[in-house]
Structure 1
């Protein structure tokens, strides 16, 4: 999956790599049925299994499928082979928010708009009992119209799941984690997401 024009499942045409995570690579691809650009997250099953992260991966997929909101990155479909899992996601042309913050590329009105969109998405997620647990500018993407999208639910959990005990585990990105989480005092879903 590294040369332009290569096809995935005879439907998605490779364009370019977008990024890499511990267990996955993300590519920009074109959906040949619709002509739209999509992001394809390619998860290496072997790496995920070796790291004991398969449950997390399944929950990320379940969570993204559960939370449908204009400010949450949309999951179109999930495909799989013996060695890979492919998440076909909405393509956010504007990239992540972190470089925009570093460059100071937006004014007060834009910052307010992003904040309102983030709060709207978080409120929706929390009402569904979903807690992200790793909110940070790198996981906030912008589409071509500047609409903010929450991405990356790998550490998420939701209340009625048997993963509710996950609210007691330490996770997230150090710079954005609430102080009481760092002190081992548990993870209070809504409050911790808002802190981040």
Structure 2
């Protein structure tokens, strides 16, 4: 363990485990405040791409450090075998865990979705695409504040020139069709993924799925969005309008994150309103 880490923080119990390392609860030696320490074993990195992702995540989090709904990074320590990243402690159930018990009403979904879209809009203003927005990466701290996390697949596309990106990254249920098709794409891939999250929060199932990853990818590529009557009967026209405009295969017609923030369903906090204002 890094000498600096040992002198600055007291490591406590393990609270999570991933492909490359372990997350511990830790406390500051100065303030006794609680944080999370993500300890990554560099010996488990398979190739240069893994190492590049590892190096990139702390740098991107530092760029995004001013938004209250993005996981904050406080310190990075490195020794011969490990990289240790001190972040916000998010010890409440994540969004995936919360959805294992029940779906959300429109009002409850909106209370979570607004800060998520606010975080994504900020990322895009700062020239960063997350590229792996999914339920598991939406965390909550002890005060129930939403924190968008896991920027290991994120890409800097620049806030000038708006360059496009390439590369198949993401998670089957959530990934946008233009990513799977191998085309160049923009930060709007995050809007598609966020739309899928909203759909799952309301319906309890993803809009596109199959028995295998291949079948799921094929369903995503078809992009045939449906609203089964037995599930969506009681849901407002406004939320279905928003979902159509986010989970939209035509990227030129898909809303940006900033446009999502201005949609009536978001503005009214999930309350039902007349569709006459929708554009």
| TM-score bin, normalised by smaller chain | 0.7 to 0.9
Match of 2:11 in 1: 14
Count of matched residue positions in the alignment of Structure 1 and Structure 2: 187
Distance 1:115 1:95 in 2: 16
Deviations 1:30-65 (A, max 9, x none): 2221111111000112222x3321111111111001
TM-score by length of 1: 0.87
Q: Which shows bigger deviation, 95-104 or 79-88? A: 95-104
In structure 2, relative to structure 1, the CA distance for the partners of 1:47 and 1:59 (3 Å cut) is same
Residue 80 of structure 1, aligned match among 78, 81, 90: 78
Match of 1:97 in 2: 95
Long gaps (5+) in structure 2? 194-279
Matched, 1:150 2:153: no
Distance 1:110 1:149 in 2: 17
Q: Which has the larger radius of gyration?
A: 2
Distance 1:119 1:130 in 2: 14
Corresponding residue SS for 1:9: helix
Give 4+ residue runs of structure 1 displaced > 6 Å after superposition. Answer: none
Distance 2:30 2:37 in 1: 15
Matched, 1:62 2:59: yes
Residue 51 of structure 1, aligned match among 43, 47, 69: 47
- Asked if 2 retains the 8 angstrom alpha-carbon contact of 1:170 and 1:187, the reply is no
In structure 2, relative to structure 1, the CA distance for the partners of 1:96 and 1:166 (3 Å cut) is farther
